[in-house]
Structure 1
């Protein structure tokens, strides 16, 4: 990431991003800060949020961290209030907090299934609901981070498929209900993304797992975090001012081939564990 921040596309705007202590959402926070946004990072781990915000500040951006679990609506609302006291009304809200693990449905407990639904789907609703009364609604943007499993049934991912499909229908519904308020609501659906903790969990076999995974992607590579951040930046910028209620897939064409290579790899990883 460049050490020179370019106040440009998002100059003066306040972006709240959940799950931005690491991975994709951290890179989105960095990219938005590069474009002049003031960044509020919200997550369960206060130390990770503070460290991510400190990295942005060290490069010349404006950022602060706030601890809250997206599953706890009252605590999340309080974190949003604190963020707005720090940086003003919300222009951009990104729901990025997520959970995942590899498990077949027959071996999964109800509590395990519910955990991912609560973090991903309920957490997205809680995030957007907490943001609504604090939005600068004439130009506000809501963006959910989904995944290709939302529309690509995948073995050992029933919990994620259900949660992400729910997120995308929620986004489409809010895009209808809240458009008259001046709010746009969209989602991005990444496929495999390199150098993220989530993919380390989903490809525990190292190089052999990655080889099998990439064989199911027409472009034969995973996405870079920068590519996801650039798409998020576009959707939250004025260049996308008439895009509303849309889910943009960014997966190198993986979903066009289907989930079997990915699902088979996940099942094999369970059998060898």
Structure 2
């Protein structure tokens, strides 16, 4: 432990599993006081043994709940938006309900969180915002990821907009664009694909393996820390060479 986030307060969404969980743990191990949220209260509870300062249920699709949480937590130095959903299919498989749900969870949830937490970050001297986007939609098309890709492209645009609007006010905003990462969500999609589903996902990776949530968390930690103080508005690709 090198205390890279010592004295900082961090707020993390979708912290019960995958990238959000790995990032919350990484932030804690580097000295941050971490507030971890998710709708999965049972999985959240297990984070207490990792030294997380506070865990709480939060539905990022509920504006009133987000506003109340921001008022309760107060000023944070690091904000990690990790909530998201991967819809499978082309435009022909995407109903209006699918479109609305995907944009609500993948994009509007970040809008809610930012609207709620940014004022205190500004009055408190600034901070670092890290949004989880995807290599799919931001730099490359992926088959059967129509609305997912659209949402992640929107996240990259939202990130740059926040960065440029508050660049002189102490706020940095970057997004991370992972390739295929081995998380419970990804393994669920692999299982749904049938026998050999996991191997199919691996076959698309030039490195011959999937990424890990801890590898994404390492980048999130860098972006959260003062080591990246000259970096803002950037979509950081971490995909094992998938977009080459």
**TM-score grouping bracket, smaller chain normalisation:** over 0.9
Q: In structure 1, what is the Cα distance between the partners aligned to 2:202 and 2:188?
A: 16
Q: In structure 1, what is the Cα distance between the partners aligned to 2:112 and 2:96?
A: 21
- Kept after mapping to 2: 8 A contact 1:66/1:79: no
Q: Where does residue 243 of structure 1 map in the other structure? A: 231
- Kept after mapping to 1: 8 A contact 2:60/2:112: yes
Q: Where does residue 157 of structure 1 map in the other structure? A: 145
**Residue 60 of structure 2 is aligned to residue 70 of structure 1:** yes
Q: In structure 2, what is the Cα distance between the partners aligned to 1:207 and 1:233?
A: 35
Q: Where does residue 10 of structure 1 map in the other structure? A: 5
Q: Where does residue 111 of structure 2 map in the other structure? A: 125
Q: In structure 2, what is the Cα distance between the partners aligned to 1:82 and 1:70?
A: 15
Of 155, 179, 185, 1:167 maps to 155
Judged with a 3 Å threshold, the aligned counterparts in structure 2 of structure 1 residues 206 and 29 are, in CA distance, closer, same or farther, namely: farther
Q: Secondary structure at the match of 1:98?
A: coil
Task: Tell me how far 1:99 sits from its aligned partner.
Answer: 1.2
After TM superposition, the score normalised by the length of structure 1 is 0.83
Alignment gaps of 5+ in structure 1 = 1-5, 257-273
After TM superposition, the score normalised by the length of structure 2 is 0.92
Deviations 1:106-141 (A, max 9, x none): 122110121111001101111111111221643400
Of 129, 140, 154, 1:142 maps to 129
Q: Where does residue 70 of structure 2 map in the other structure? A: 80
Matches within 5 A, 1:36-55: 36-52=31-47, 54-55=48-49
Task: Tell me how far 1:36 sits from its aligned partner.
Answer: 0.4
Q: CA RMSD in A?
A: 1.7
- Kept after mapping to 2: 8 A contact 1:50/1:64: no
Judged with a 3 Å threshold, the aligned counterparts in structure 2 of structure 1 residues 197 and 176 are, in CA distance, closer, same or farther, namely: same
- Kept after mapping to 1: 8 A contact 2:37/2:58: yes
Q: Secondary structure at the match of 1:226?
A: helix
Q: Where does residue 265 of structure 1 map in the other structure? A: none
Q: Secondary structure at the match of 1:252?
A: coil
Q: Where does residue 92 of structure 2 map in the other structure? A: 106
Judged with a 3 Å threshold, the aligned counterparts in structure 2 of structure 1 residues 72 and 55 are, in CA distance, closer, same or farther, namely: same
Task: Tell me how far 1:207 sits from its aligned partner.
Answer: 6.5
Q: In structure 2, what is the Cα distance between the partners aligned to 1:187 and 1:168?
A: 7
Q: Secondary structure at the match of 2:168?
A: helix
User: Please, which moves more after superposition, 231-240 or 212-221?
Assistant: 212-221
Q: Secondary structure at the match of 2:60?
A: coil
Bigger Rg, structure 1 or 2: 1
